[in-house]
Structure formats: structure tokens, C-alpha cells
Amino acid sequence: MKLQTNMNNLLLANIQKHLRLEPAEEALIMSAFGVKKIRRKQFFVHEGDVSKYCAFVLSGCMRTYFVDANGFEHILQFAIEDWWAADMMSFTTQQPGKLNIDALEPSELFILSREKQLALFDECPKFERYFRIITENGLISQQSRIIENLSLPAIDRYQNFVNRYPQLVQRLPKTLIASYIGITPEFLSKLRKQLSGKF
């Protein structure tokens, strides 16, 4: 099966937001990826396993989460089309991970093994640059999230989420958003009532 190698290709388009690629580089990069279709509720990564692959989401929606000692799920990240999803710890160290990644909607992924990723870093410095940049951006957004969690009450965290990811608010059940911002679904419901009250 031949992969797209032009600008219809969401991944190459994403990379070219950050730097310019030669056609040969595009082909080299794409040859390292595989395609994976995944049904709703299916797992891409299971806790305890070593994450052999990271994934770039072409369509659908994936969710990365942690299950705590009491069985509660805490969502670390949603990934819709044009986003990356991975258990970074397990993927970079190739140690067993603590995170789960599953599909909230039927999804289509470009997947890349750690092995091929490292080879590609050697063969194509621009690809390593791309990862340096998206990792920087990821770090920055995680830092904002830590700051928000430390400094804002739940109601403000919810409003920020709504402002930042309006698409997700429509698309996802509220209970998942509650899990992302770190509160119970019941409490989120109460907050939403408050908000609707003071139009």
C-alpha cells in the first residue's frame, strides 16, 4: 500500500509548519511510518507494556491516561487529528510504561517505532529538529498546565479548557473533561450550573 507523499499528507504538512523538506526527505520519512486503524475503545498502549510505537493521529481521537491506586482514571492528553500521542516515558526509555492510550473514536494513525525514529534522526537531521521543536512545544504546554493546576480553582481551569479546546468540548463527554482538569464529573456538573446561572 502506497502512502501519500504530498501536502494531502497531514504528517508532512505538520512537519513543514516547522521546517522545509526536500522530496527525498519526505520519501525517507514516510517510509519509516506504518498505518494503523483502531476501533473505538481499542487500546494503542497498555500500562505495563513497553511502547514500541508513537503515533501521529490522522483522524479520530485518542486519549492518554493514568489509572491510580484507587482505580480512577486521570487523563494526561487528548490527541485529535494532527496531534501526536505517546507514552513518552516508555517510548523514549523502552521501559514498561504506566500509561494507557485508547481510542475515543475510530481512529487512523501513522505509527513510528523507536528504532526507526532513532535511525531517522541519524539519516535526516531535519527530522530530529522537528522532534526537538515539537518536544519543546509539548514541554511548554505541560508547564502551563502545571501552573494552572497549581494556581487556579477548578472553575477557571474548566473555562480555560473550553476556551483553548472548543472542538473537544463538543466532541467529548463532560466526564472526560472533568478527568482532564482534575475534578469529579459531579463537581463539574455543579460548576457548569454555576456558569450557566450567571449568563
- How big is the CA angle at 153 (ends 190 and 140), to the nearest 5 degrees? 125
Q: Which listed option, DNA, its own copies, none, makes contact with residue 149 (CB within 5 to 8 Å by class)?
A: its own copies
Q: Does 163 bind its own copies (CB under 8 A)?
A: no
Asked if residue 185 binds its own copies (CB under 8 A), the reply is: no
Q: Which is nearer to DNA, 23 or 153 (CB)?
A: 153
Give, as ranges, the residues between 98 and 117 that touch its own copies (CB under 8 A).
98
Cα–Cα distance list, 78 to 29, 45, 102, 104, 153 (Å):
25, 14, 10, 9, 21
Contact between 64 and 77 (Cβ < 8 Å)? yes
Is 132 an interacting residue with respect to its own copies (CB under 8 A)?
yes
Partner whose binding site includes residue 94, from its own copies, DNA, none (CB under 5 to 8 Å by kind): none
Q: Is 76 in the site for its own copies (CB under 8 A)?
A: yes
Pick what 154 binds: its own copies, DNA, none; C-beta below 5 to 8 Å, kind-dependent. DNA
Part in contact with its own copies (CB under 8 A); list of ranges 53-61, 100-108, 131-139, 191-199: 131-139
Grid cell in block for residue 160 = 480555560
Which of 88, 101, 112, 176 is in the footprint of its own copies by CB under 8 A?
Answer: 88
Give me the phi and psi of 124, to 5 degrees please.
Answer: -140, 90
Nearest to 34 by CA among 61, 79, 1, 62: 1
The one of its own copies, DNA, none whose footprint includes residue 184, by CB under 5 to 8 A per kind, is DNA
From its own copies, DNA, none, interface partner of 27 (C-beta below 5 to 8 A by class):
none
- Kindly list the distances between the CA atom of residue 134 and the CA atoms of 130, 156, 159, in Å, as whole numbers in the listed order: 6, 27, 26
Coil, helix or strand for 115? Answer: helix
22 belongs to the binding site for its own copies (CB under 8 A): no
Give the three-state DSSP class for 89.
Answer: helix
145 binds its own copies (CB under 8 A): yes
Cβ pair 39, 110 in contact under 8 A: no
Judge contact between 120 and 28, C-beta under 8 A: yes
Per CB under 8 A, residues contacting its own copies are: 66, 68-69, 72, 74, 76, 88-89, 92, 98, 121, 125, 128-129, 131-132, 135-140, 142-147, 149-152, 182
